[in-house]
Amino acid sequence: MIDTISWLALAFAAGLAARQIGLPPLVGYLVAGFTLHAFGAEATSMVNTLSDLGVTLLLFSIGLKLKLKSLAEPQVWGVAGLHMVAFIGVLVPALLTFGALGVPYLGELGHRNTLILAFALSFSSTVFAVKVLEEKGEMGSLYGTIAIGILIVQDLAAVLFLAFSLGKVPMLWSLLLFSLIPLRGVIGRVLDRAGHGELLLLFGITFALGGAQLFEALHIKGDLGALLLGILIAPHAKSGELAKTLLGLKDLFLVGFFLSIGLTAVPSADMAPTVLLLVLFLVLKGFLFEQLLLAFRLRARTALLGSLSLASYSEFGLIVAAIAEKSGWLSSDWLAIVAITVGVSLVIAAFLDSRAHGLYELFSDRLRRQERTVRLPIEREIDPADANAMIIGMGRVGTGAYDTLTMDKGLKPVGIDADPDAVARHSASGRNVVQGSATDADFWHRLHLNDGHIKVVLLAMPQVSENVFAAEHLIKEGFAGTIGAIAKFPDDEAILRAAGVSQVFNLYAEAGAGFAQHVCTGRGREVEDRLSRLQRAAAGVDDAR
């Protein structure tokens, strides 16, 4: 217990150091795990338990946000399937060739063993991609939803492999799991009664972990069960709130996952050339994703950011390698090599992904020349029509601002949001909202602002970095109107003003002032109403006299 607590403290220190140099904290967790293993530490049962809980809650949370129709898009299942075939098709002969040239450990592999290794390395890390997308606030962006869809297709392929390789045939009783579908209404009513506090959290944990155990008992992978149960609840109105409630707990448990990867193995000198070679193949992996996404008529920016989110090796690769080692298909040394390769790939991917927007800005001219002439409808030009105000970020704050500008100020606003489901909901409610990502440099090129109709732009995105990016590009595009933005902390206000924002609204300070004014105004009206009633009563008495 003491060891685990001290390891978590080390993970915190390493995560904090990683954040200070602009990297996601998960890089620090991985480095902490490698450091501990270098000093002889091994994963404890508590670390492994935290890791298992984190992955289960992660897949449950993905299910809560997943819309099955997104998996049916060709740019999702098509890219996932073609990439797996192409990557394995290139990697197998390449590894056999390098083995013949004398690269350590590769020479001992036969064709079947090489095929299994390539299959293990064809997956991208779901945990990494979701974690990075959440930290950047881009889970609802187009490239984010496509990347998550591709990862789900990959995970389903991995689960099928695990089922066949372990010889686990689902029990006949597993057919009863289909009864959960008609029970969705009952589950939804229980979720409604859970409220918004600890009962909601307890519902999520019980449903995710208990459901996973139920699937395991029926010889079906528990993680797949957690994902499917999340999808079952996804249409419910409180699914988003449930996902947010589980967020902190899930992130805490995932620290154990990243520590466990680092604690799996540490490189020896003779493994280094093989690890380096496998890491270099990440370039091929990312390039294939980018080219396939372009071939499916997505813009260069979407293709680049999506490929960077997927350019890693996966935790499923470790699981496949472990099964292969137990089955005698790979030696125990290969389990260590794959573990080290996965860890190093996550460090590299985190470094590149944290600079994804800057990389696109740097190479945008060259990348745009690769785009297809005909694009998907969602990637076409954005025309705000006769709108004279714009709100970027149509969450609760943005929606309130939109309604106020419409009803109280008589303006014609247009809303911008990256989440297609949010756009559909607003459109169904009669609001003029279009899909677009304000952190996309090309978004500002596709948006027609030069006609001068739009005089006011309100930046209501949750991350200050997103609002700063949008403000800087507004000014770069020659916008001369008023720019307003929300802020949560006093430090954010100075950053936004330096970026060109003329009006900053501090959510917490202004909410308190507005609350007091609202109550006092209501109290004043109450007194006025009472005086008016007394005056009318007195007038009635006079009339009676």
pLDDT digits (tens, 9 = 90+) for 346-360: 888 888 888 887 888
Question: Three-state DSSP class for 482?
Answer: strand
pLDDT confidence of residue 98: 93
pLDDT band at 252 (very low <50, low <70, confident <90, very high): confident
pLDDT one-digit tens code per residue, 466-503? 889 889 888 887 888 899 998 888 888 888 999 889 98
pLDDT confidence of residue 178: 66
pLDDT confidence of residue 281: 95
Indicate the residue type of 19.
Answer: R
- Asked if 340 contacts 267 with a C-beta cutoff of 8 angstroms, the reply is yes
Among 310, 337, 364, residue at a domain's last position: 337
Tokens matching residue 505: 């609204």
Same domain assignment for residues 290 and 392: no
| Region of poorest pLDDT, from 29-33, 137-141, 363-367 | 137-141
C-alpha dist (Å) from residue 4 to 7, 259, 440, 492, 529: 5, 10, 41, 36, 64
Asked if the structure places residue 348 within a domain, the reply is: no
Tokens matching residue 425: 């909901």
One-letter-per-residue 3-state SS of 46-109 = HHHHHHHHHHHHHHHHHHHHCCHHHHCCHHHHHHHHHHHHHHHHHHHHHHHHHHHCCCCCHHHC
Task: Report the distance separating Cα 449 and Cα 397, nearest Å.
Answer: 23
pLDDT confidence of residue 526: 55
Residues of the chain by 3-state class (helix, strand, coil), percent to 5: 70, 5, 25
According to the per-residue pLDDT averaged within each range, which of 78-87, 121-130, 500-509 is highest? 78-87
pLDDT one-digit tens code per residue, 162-178? 666 655 555 656 666 66
Domain range for 394: 381-510
DSSP 238-303: THHHHHHHHHHHHHHHHHHHHHHHHHH----GGGHHHHHHHHHHHHHHHHHHHHHHHHTT--HHHH
Asked if the structure places residue 16 within a domain, the reply is: no
pLDDT confidence of residue 483: 92
Same domain assignment for residues 320 and 386: no
- Phi, psi (deg, nearest 5) at residue 540: -65, -40
Same domain assignment for residues 328 and 386: no
Same domain assignment for residues 307 and 402: no
Task: Report the distance separating Cα 113 and Cα 486, nearest Å.
Answer: 55
- Asked if 130 contacts 58 with a C-beta cutoff of 8 angstroms, the reply is yes
Same domain assignment for residues 75 and 199: yes
Please state at what angle helix 142-165 crosses helix 315-326, rounded to 10 degrees. Answer: 10
H-helix segments, 218-238 = 222-233
pLDDT confidence of residue 542: 47
Same domain assignment for residues 449 and 313: no
Tokens matching residue 515: 């609350």
pLDDT confidence of residue 163: 60
pLDDT band at 525 (very low <50, low <70, confident <90, very high): low
How much is the average pLDDT of 321-341?
79
CB count within 10 Å of CB 268 equals 13
pLDDT confidence of residue 414: 92
Same domain assignment for residues 83 and 172: yes
DSSP letter at 382 equals B
Same domain assignment for residues 326 and 386: no
Asked if the structure places residue 175 within a domain, the reply is: yes
Mean pLDDT of the chain: 81
Task: Report the distance separating Cα 392 and Cα 422, nearest Å.
Answer: 13
Asked if the structure places residue 386 within a domain, the reply is: yes
Indicate the residue type of 313.
Answer: Y
CATH label of the domain that carries residue 475 = 3.40.50.720
Among 337, 367, 392, residue at a domain's last position: 337
Task: Report the distance separating Cα 388 and Cα 175, nearest Å.
Answer: 56
Asked if the structure places residue 33 within a domain, the reply is: no
Q: What is the count of structural domains for the chain?
A: 2
Its pTM stands at 0.68
CATH label of the domain that carries residue 292 = 1.20.1530.20
pLDDT confidence of residue 544: 42
How much is the average pLDDT of 222-244?
80
Asked if the structure places residue 90 within a domain, the reply is: yes
Asked if the structure places residue 399 within a domain, the reply is: yes
pLDDT confidence of residue 9: 87
- Among 266, 315, 340, CA closest to 52: 315
Tokens matching residue 286: 């990312």
pLDDT confidence of residue 543: 47
β-bridge partners, 433: 415
How much is the average pLDDT of 253-282?
82
Residue 300, pLDDT > 80, answer yes
Task: Report the distance separating Cα 329 and Cα 321, nearest Å.
Answer: 9
How much is the average pLDDT of 58-63?
80
Tokens matching residue 453: 């109709």
pLDDT one-digit tens code per residue, 377-421? 777 777 777 888 999 999 888 999 999 899 888 889 999 988 877
- Among 316, 277, 2, CA closest to 128: 316
**Run of H or E residues at 186:** helix 184-193
β-bridge partners, 459: 392, 485
β-bridge partners, 391: 415, 458
Q: With the C-alpha atoms ordered 146, 150, 156, 162, is the resulting torsion angle positive or negative?
A: negative
**Separation of CA 65 from chain center:** 10
Higher pLDDT, 267 or 435: 435
Q: How many residues does the chain have?
A: 545
Task: Report the distance separating Cα 140 and Cα 154, nearest Å.
Answer: 20
β-bridge partners, 483: 457
Among 302, 319, 337, residue at a domain's last position: 337
How much is the average pLDDT of 85-107?
93
β-bridge partners, 485: 459, 504
pLDDT confidence of residue 127: 77
Task: Report the distance separating Cα 183 and Cα 186, nearest Å.
Answer: 5
Same domain assignment for residues 143 and 223: yes
pLDDT confidence of residue 182: 73
Task: Report the distance separating Cα 487 and Cα 469, nearest Å.
Answer: 14
Same domain assignment for residues 401 and 306: no
CB count within 10 Å of CB 462 equals 13
How much is the average pLDDT of 153-164?
74
- Among 396, 62, 57, 58, CA closest to 234: 62
Asked if the structure places residue 492 within a domain, the reply is: yes
Same domain assignment for residues 293 and 403: no
How much is the average pLDDT of 302-331?
82
**Run of H or E residues at 514:** helix 507-544
pLDDT band at 545 (very low <50, low <70, confident <90, very high): very low
Same domain assignment for residues 194 and 290: yes
**Separation of CA 344 from chain center:** 21
With tokens 């409610």, the residue in question is 429
Higher pLDDT, 529 or 38: 38
pLDDT band at 90 (very low <50, low <70, confident <90, very high): very high
Residue 327, pLDDT > 50, answer yes
Residue 534, pLDDT > 60, answer no
How much is the average pLDDT of 430-450?
78
Residue 541, pLDDT > 50, answer no
Tokens matching residue 224: 């797949």
